[in-house]
């Protein structure tokens, strides 16, 4: 069965070789994973606020307001999670982490935009 991998994640992860397995490195990673888990909760809260704001918003969205702030918050927490991943990867000796994350982030944004464009086209929604 073929694997659905539109962003080519598998090709980039095949080259990862982790080197630092000592106790101090593992503890650094554990600490960063705790931070990552806290930030996942913050991302979930921001996504919930954005959902609530969009469900109650008037048809003409403000350029500055609760929905815009909530959208920025979801973006900021996602970026923070990417930073955590870079930290953990570097601790374990995956020195190309920034390169890989940059490639995958670019691919993810492009794919998200393409999916949004298709969905908007299907709904007859034009960009302003």
**Sequence ranges of the domains in the chain:** 21-94
More confident residue, 23 or 10: 23
Tell me what pLDDT residue 91 has: 85
CB-based contacts of 87, cutoff 8 Å, min separation 6:
32
From the number of C-beta atoms within 10 Å of its C-beta (0-12, 13-18, 19+), residue 88 rates as buried
pTM above 0.85, yes or no: no
H-helix segments, 20-96: 23-56, 66-91
Using the predicted structure, report yes or no on whether residue 48 has a pLDDT greater than 50.
yes
Please give the backbone phi and psi of residue 89, each rounded to the nearest 5 degrees, phi first. -60, -40
Using the predicted structure, report yes or no on whether residue 1 has a pLDDT greater than 50.
no
Pick from 72, 29, 70, 21: which is nearest to 48 by CA?
70
Q: In Å, what is the CA distance from 16 to each residue of 24, 56, 83, 90?
A: 20, 45, 18, 11
CB-based contacts of 85, cutoff 8 Å, min separation 6:
36, 97, 101
Using the predicted structure, report yes or no on whether residue 107 has a pLDDT greater than 70.
yes
Quote the radius of gyration of the chain (alpha carbons, Å): 18
Mean pLDDT of 114-120: 94
pLDDT tier at 85, thresholds 50, 70, 90: confident
Lowest mean pLDDT among 15-19, 66-70, 77-81, 90-94: 15-19
> What is the architecture, at CATH level 2, of domain 21-94?
Orthogonal Bundle (1.10)
């Amino acid at each position: 069965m073929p694997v659905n991998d539109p962003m080519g994640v598998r090709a980039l992860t095949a080259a990862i070789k982790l080197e630092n397995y000592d106790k101090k490195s593992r503890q650094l990673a554990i600490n960063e994973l705790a931070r990552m888990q806290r930030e996942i909760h913050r991302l979930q809260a921001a996504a919930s606020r954005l959902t609530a704001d969009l469900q109650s918003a008037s048809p003409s969205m403000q350029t500055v307001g609760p929905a815009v702030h909530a959208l920025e918050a979801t973006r900021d927490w996602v970026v923070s999670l990417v930073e955590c991943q870079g930290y953990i990867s570097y601790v374990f000796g995956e020195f190309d982490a920034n390169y890989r994350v940059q490639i995958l982030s670019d691919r993810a944004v492009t794919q998200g935009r393409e999916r949004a464009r298709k969905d908007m086209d299907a709904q007859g929604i034009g960009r302003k």
